[in-house]
Structure 1
Amino acid sequence: MSGIRTDLSGQVAIVTGSTSGIGAAMADALAENGAHIVLNGLGDAQEIETLRASLAEKHGVEVRYHGANMLKPDEISDLVTSTEEAFGRLDILMNNAGIQHVAPVDEFPEDKWDAILGINLTSVFHAAKAAVPIMKRQGKGRIVNLASAHGLVASPFKSAYVAAKHGVMGFTKSLALEVAEQGITCNAICPGYVKTPLVENQIGDTARARGISEEEVVRDVLLAAQPTKQFVTYEQLAGALLYLVSDAGANMNGSWISVDGGWTAK
């Protein structure tokens, strides 16, 4: 899928928010390279089972599903501990789960703020807290957090998302320093706009918030930020992930890969 191959045979990976979009693509890339996968996320039970079975059959790896709610610390902890119980190890944690809401600060619903901070930032802490002891015992592990270009720069009407993703970047750096001598790395991937279901929903919300058409949102708001004028693809993000979890990326720590068409270069 990614065009980059690395041998992850026998390794075990959790990808949160992986029942659709970027997370599903990241799980596919890891499975393609030999990793056993634990999927997590929301959605129709039959569709999730179809995805799970498809990945397992296509790549010849074991694929399981855990329905942990990323707003509930005890369920996040169970996601991680049950993975170790099932497989005896945990090599890769990809914190991908995320939600979005677009509105001016003075109109921003407080429940949306709490949910965005909870899922996009606080769940990263809880998952890492549960995973790090396992990785310490192994003497090796890879934690990759899906941040965003909005972890580096800001946009109006996205205060909660920008705050959360900036928090993810700070957490990534801090954790990386804590585990640097124990064979564990923690890095982030910062995508620009990817045409995911999340972004599709943002188009309509942004159009309403700015009082412009959806076509203008894509042309003048979303892709205006990316000098290439192209959406980032799943395959491009998968390539970044595979580098970070491979031996080639072993000395990449506390850092990030921007895959944003040049957005944050400005």
Structure 2
Amino acid sequence: MSENIVSLKNVSYSYTDYDGAETRVLKNINLSIKKGEYVVILGHNGSGKSTLCKLLNRIIIPSDGDVVCFGINTRDESKELELRKNVQMVFQNPDNQLVEAIVEEDVAFGPSNLGIKNPELRNIVDKSLEDVEMSKYALKAPHELSGGQKQRIAIAGVLAIKPKLIIFDEATAMLDPIGRKEILGEIDYLNKKKGITVVNVTHHMKEATLASRVIVLDDGEIKLDGSPREVFSNLEKITSFGLDVPQSLELYFNLKSRGFKFSNDTKVPLNPQEFLELI
């Protein structure tokens, strides 16, 4: 069995409003993530998804409890650099993550600040661009690229640091369907081929069906945690949290409620192909 690389024990987080009022965003979270998992976090706006992610690489510190990533307690300020090498984030807007005027310089930014010099730096940049299939854009300016291409460059910059865990915080939210498909392909490649543990925060149910594990947050608490099929089988609970379910599953439940008999009703369908197999 894979080892736990992330552990949250009795973690809560609160922030203080401008008027001095305290708001609790996360409440007594207990959670472990294993090496190699592909975890999707779902929840409506304000449920605590992004806050949870920011706890994992010390962007914020828990108000209560402990967050331990790769054996490092995030309260230990002296281990911040080591922690950030292992845990990296890709944010919603790639323009906020691209800092240089040329693509290859942007990818080199992270490792060069860690003191890596040529020729190793050159090799890292080339390999990172190759991994996201953006080598031919190395000398382009980021502003000349599409949204999906920019996000791939942001991923390349993260890969250049060689993290063991990558958090995608709604990284496909600003992309068109083509760009979203490209980034989902990259996420799948990083997880399955490169062995990188992935946490993906999203509002898109199709993305959730691709994961090995789905966590549903509501009002700062973990309400559901299991495989996509296990989680989405809880139709009433999912909808009570203001979330949708995959279209194939919604059609399946609607037809069953109307008395339709499936000839091969062995599992709830997560995609159109699985739905057709039930008929």
What band does the TM-score fall into relative to the shorter chain? Answer: 0.3 to 0.5
Normalising by structure 2, report the TM-score. Answer: 0.32
More helix by percentage = 1
More strand by percentage = 2
